[in-house]
Structure 1
Amino acid sequence: MDYDYQNASNDSDFVTETLDDQVLSDKPRILLMGLQRSGKSSIQRVVFGKMPPNDTLYLESTTKIQKEDITRSFIDFQIWDFPGQVDFFDEMAYDPQDIFGTVGALIFVIDAQDDYNEALHKLFTTVTSAYRVNPNITFEVLIHKVDGLSDDYKIDTQRDVQQRMSDALADAQLEYIHLTYYLTSIYDNSIYEAFSKIIQKLIRELPTLENLLNVLCSNSGIDKAYLFDTLTKIYIATDSSPVDMQSYELCSDMIDVCIDVECIYGSAQGSSPHNLSILDTTGRNNNVMDGQQTPVSLDDIRDPDNESLEQRSVQQQHRLQNSETEASSLIKLDNGDVLYMREVNRLLVLICLLRQDNFEKHGLIDYNFHCFKEAVTEVFEFSRKRSTQQQQHD
C-alpha cells in the first residue's frame, strides 16, 4: 500500500485519513528516512527486493511513502520508505503518534559523498521529535555510499558525524538518546552486516539463540556459525566469537552459490529429503496437496505383502511429508577450511565455518545440529505462545 503525499502540504487531514483507511498490523515497523537521493530506496530494493545494485541507478526519487510487508522471511516486519522532502513532524498536518508510535527502529541515511550539513540538521530534528513520541525506538544512522572512498576518509567522516551529533544532543541536554552508526554501501556486504545488527536488536530471543550457537560450536569444533534469514541474507544471530567480514562474506556468498547452482541444475524434490530447494520454499512438502505424484522406487513395487502400487505410493508420500526435510550443502575451500550449510526450516539456514580435520567428525556435527534445530524450534514455539497469550490478555 502506498501513501501519496504530493499534495499533502495543502491538505491537513491527508495523513489522518490515509492511516484510518489502513489496518495497522502488530508487526514491528522499520522506517527509512533521510534527505532526497541519499539512497533509501536503493537500500530497500537491494536488501529486501533482491535488486542488483547497478539497477538502482535508474530508480526515481521517492515522492510518497512506500510501505512493504516483508513476506517469505523469518524477519516479520514492515519497511516504510519516507520521501526526504516532507516534514512528518508538522502536527498541524500529521499525527506523529500514528507514524512513530509502533516503530521498532528508525534508520536515517546520510550520503557520505555529499555535503551532509543539512542531513545532520534533519537527523537531529527527526531523532529528538521521534524520541518524544516513542522513547523505545532504536535510532540507527547509515553513513552511506562509502564505496570508492578511502579508508581514512570513511573513518574521518564517521568520526565527524558522531562528534557533531553528540555535541548537538549534549547542547540540548539529550545525551541519553543513543545513536548507532554504520558505514555502508549497496555494492558490498556492509549493508547486510549493518541490517543484521539492526534486526538483531528487534529479536527478543537473541540471547537464547546466541547461547545455542555457542554450545553448538564448542561441542562440534566449529570456528564460526551464522543463523541466516534465507530471503534477505541477514544473519539474525551468531556465536559470541568476533565477527570478521571475511568469514561473514564467505558464509553469505554460500547462499548465492547454492541458489545459482539450483537455478542451473534444478532440485530433485521428492527423490530425497536432503535434495530440497532453498530457492523456492513456498512449494516444499506440498506433493500430496498439489496433486503431484511422488516417484515410486523399485523397492516399493516389489511389495512382500502384495499391497497395491497405489497403497504403497500413498504410504511413501506420507513418509516423505513427515520426514526431516532440510537442505544441506558442503563447500571445501582452498585453505582447507569447510563451509557447511544446513537448513533449520524453510526460513532459516545455519552456515558454519570449520577446519577440515574437525569436519571428519561429521556424524557428531549432524547429531548436534539436530539437537540445535529442535532447541531453536522450541524457542520460537514458546515465544509464539507467549505472544498469543499477551495479545489475548491485552
Structure 2
Amino acid sequence: MDHSKRQTKPRLLLMGQRRSGKSSITSVVFHKMEPQETLFLESTTRIQKDTMNSFMDFQVWDFPGQLDYFDPTFDTTQIFSEIGALIWVVDAQDEYSDSLARLTTTIINLQNTFPHINVEVFVHKTDSLNEDYRSDIFQDIVQRVGDDLNDAGFINPNVSYHLTSIYDSSIFEALSSVIQKLIPELDVLQNLLNTLINNSGMTKAYLFDILSKIYVASDTRPVDSDIYEICANYIDLTVDFTDLYNYPRHNPKILGEQMEEVESSMTFEDGTMVYLKEMNKHLCLVTVIKNKEAKDKKGMIDYNVHIFQEALKAVFDRAWEKNQIDGGEDTRTAKAVTSSENEEDGIAPN
C-alpha cells in the first residue's frame, strides 16, 4: 500500500482541562507506555503534535488545557479545517463543571464554522468508580451538555460519548470507534468481514492496526470486551514472539514457496481458538473461533482468509488510486468462493 497517494492526514485533536488525562491516552495507545508510568508525566504546556505512520496516517494534537483556542491570536482555520475528530477528555473523578462549560462553548463555535467535525467526549478515569456511580456521572454529563446545546439552539449536534480508562480496553475501543468514522471504506470492510465469519464458522473478527491495537473494522456482530482483549493481547504475544525468534540465519534453506505475512493460531483449554493473519505491514486480522467443526478444518479457514486478504487489497487500491469505493464485486467474489468452499467441506456458519 502506497501511503504517498493519500493527499491529507486526518487530524485528531485532544482537548480538555489540565490533568484530565489527554497525554496519558496518547502515551498508552500510541507510544506503548504502561498505564502506571503515566503517573509521572508532566502537564502539557504547549501543543504536542504526533504523526502516526500506520494503516491510516493521521496526526494527534494534544492541546494544553489552559489555552483558549478561539482567541484571535490563534488561527482557528489552521487548527480545525483539516480535523477528523475533536476528542474532549473529561476527568470523571474531578469537578467537571468548568470542563463541560468549555466543551459546550467549543461545540457552539465549531457548529457555526466547522459543522462537519465529529465531537467525541471521553468520560475518562472511570476505572476506580463503581458501576452505578460511573453510570450516573455518564448520564449527568450527557444530559448537561445536551441541555446547554439545546438552549443555544443546536438540536442533535454531532456529539458522541464514551466511558474510558487507560487501565482497561475501553480507551482502545473508544478510539477505534473514533477512527472508524474517518474510514470511507468502513461499510465495505464490514461486509467483507461478515462474509468471512459467516462462511468460516467464526465467532468474531477484527481488523487491527498493529501499531496501536485500534481496530479499524469488525463484523457487525456486537463487540464483546472480553473477546476484544483476547484478540488485542494475542497481537502483543505474536509480535513479541516474532521479534524474539526472527533472527538472521546462516545459509537458510527455503522449503518451497514461503508466505511473507505472519500467521499464528492458538487453542485454549475450553476449545476456543484465536487465529491471527497479517494482512500487510500495518494491518492484521484476528478472529475468535468457537465452532468445533471450523477449528478442525483450518485449511478452509486459511483459504477463506486469503480470499479476504485479496479483496481487502483491492478495496484500498481503488480507494487510494481512484478516490472512489466500489467493493461490491470483491464482496460477491469472496462470498461465492467461500460459500463454494464450505459446501465442499460441509461446514455451517457459526
Report the counterpart of residue 195 of structure 1 in structure 2: 175
Residue 335 to residue 269, structure 1, CA distance change in 2 (3 Å): farther
Offset of residue 258 of structure 1: 1.6
Offset of residue 327 of structure 1: 0.3
Note if 1:64 corresponds to 2:83.
no
Report the counterpart of residue 219 of structure 2 in structure 1: 239
Q: Aligned AA for 1:381?
A: D
Q: Aligned AA for 1:215?
A: T
CA contact (8 A) 1:97 1:133 kept: no
Report the counterpart of residue 245 of structure 2 in structure 1: 266
**Aligned pairs for 1:20-39 within 5 A:** 26-39=8-21
Report the counterpart of residue 331 of structure 2 in structure 1: none
Note if 1:372 corresponds to 2:308.
yes
Report the counterpart of residue 151 of structure 1 in structure 2: 131
Report the counterpart of residue 272 of structure 2 in structure 1: 337
Offset from partner CA, 1:252-284 (integer Å, 9 cap, x none): 111112233345x422567xxxxxxxxxxxxxx
Offset of residue 298 of structure 1: 9.2
CA contact (8 A) 1:124 1:165 kept: yes
Offset of residue 336 of structure 1: 0.8
Q: Structure 1 unaligned segments of length 5 or more: list them.
A: 1-24, 271-293, 300-318, 389-394
Q: Distance in 1 between matches of 2:95 and 2:23?
A: 20
Q: Distance in 2 between matches of 1:145 and 1:59?
A: 15
Q: Aligned AA for 2:221?
A: S
CA contact (8 A) 2:190 2:219 kept: yes
Q: Distance in 1 between matches of 2:87 and 2:151?
A: 23
**Aligned pairs for 1:273-352 within 5 A:** 295-297=251-253, 324-352=259-287
CA contact (8 A) 2:294 2:301 kept: no
Q: Distance in 2 between matches of 1:252 and 1:50?
A: 13
Which one has more relative contact order, counting CA pairs under 8 Å at least 6 apart?
A: 2
SS at match of 2:199: helix
CA contact (8 A) 1:100 1:133 kept: no
SS at match of 1:182: strand
Offset from partner CA, 1:305-353 (integer Å, 9 cap, x none): xxxxxxxxxxxxxx97xx5411011111121110011111111110111
Report the counterpart of residue 307 of structure 1 in structure 2: none
Q: Distance in 1 between matches of 2:67 and 2:27?
A: 21
Q: Distance in 2 between matches of 1:79 and 1:133?
A: 21
Q: Distance in 2 between matches of 1:134 and 1:295?
A: 60
TM-score w.r.t. length of structure 1: 0.77
Of the three residues 381, 385, 388, the one matched with 2:317 is 381
Q: Distance in 2 between matches of 1:76 and 1:269?
A: 30
Q: Distance in 2 between matches of 1:26 and 1:262?
A: 33
CA contact (8 A) 1:105 1:137 kept: yes
Q: Structure 2 unaligned segments of length 5 or more: list them.
A: 1-6, 325-350
TM-score w.r.t. length of structure 2: 0.87
Q: Distance in 1 between matches of 2:225 and 2:295?
A: 23
| Percentage identity across paired residues of the two chains | 47
Max radius of gyration: which structure?
A: 1
What value does the CA root-mean-square deviation take over the aligned residues? 1.8
Greater mean alpha carbon deviation, residues 251-260 or residues 113-122: 251-260
